[in-house]
Structure formats: structure tokens, C-alpha cells
Amino acid sequence: MTKLLLSLHVLASILAVGPITVAASMFPRYARPPAPGSEGPHDHDMRTAAFLHKICRGYAVVGIAVPVLGFATGASMGVLGDAWLLASIVLTAIAAALLMAMVLPGQSE
């Protein structure tokens, strides 16, 4: 059971955290206002920025599976009190807080 939980945890990490990282890093390029005098397709850029924001919001919900599966894996391995796991939990909590408190609200503007 531990191997299954660990596999699901790693798979969820790749499938959930990866798209959030890519979408959040691409967002500023499409969200910036057009340069004065430019005649580029700004409407297309805004639609792309809105789509990237939607990806971040959607995958943030899916990303909840990562720590849930991580806790389940840690419990089945009996390592919930180990320093490396506690550090991982703290880093994950900080990343989630930054995403929810700064990135997503910043993208909404």
C-alpha cells in the first residue's frame, strides 16, 4: 500500500504542481498592458492571461491531493515525525499560502 500511495503522491505532484508553475510563470507576459503605440493583439493576450489564471485556480484545487497523499504516505511509512517530512510540510504550506494570498489575487487584478 505504501508504494501505491507514494506513486500516487509523486504522480499528483507532477500533474498538479507542474501546470501551476508553468501557468503562473507565463502569466505576467500576457497580462502586461500593451506598449504605447503598439498595435499588437492585446485582446488575445488578455484572453490568454485569463486562461492561465483559470489553470492556476483549477489546478490549485487539484493540488490539494498532493499533501493529502503525502500525509497518507508518511503515515503508512511511519515517518510523520521525521525532520525531512516536517520541513517538506512547512515548505508546502508556505507555497500554498503564497499561491492563495498573493499569486491568485494578483492575477485576478
Percentage above 90 pLDDT, the chain: 72
Question: What are the pLDDT digits (tens) for 25-41?
Answer: 999 988 887 777 666 66
Count of residues in the chain: 109
Q: Where are the domains of the chain?
A: 2-108
**Position 20: which residue type?**
I
Q: Do residues 56 and 20 touch, judged by C-beta distance below 8 A?
A: yes
Q: What is the dihedral of CA 32, 37, 43, 49, to 10 degrees?
A: -10
Output the CA torsion 16→86→80→77 (10° steps).
60
- Assess whether pLDDT exceeds 80 at residue 7: yes
pLDDT in the model for residue 41: 64
* Ramachandran bin of 34, using left for φ above 0, alpha for ψ from -120 to 50, beta for the remaining angles: beta
Residue 4 has pLDDT above 90, yes or no: yes
- Please name the residue that has the C-alpha cell 510523520: 80
Q: For the chain, what is the mean pLDDT?
A: 90
Q: Look at residue 40 in the predicted model and tell me its pLDDT.
A: 64
What does the pLDDT look like over 64-78, one tens digit per residue?
A: 999 999 999 999 999
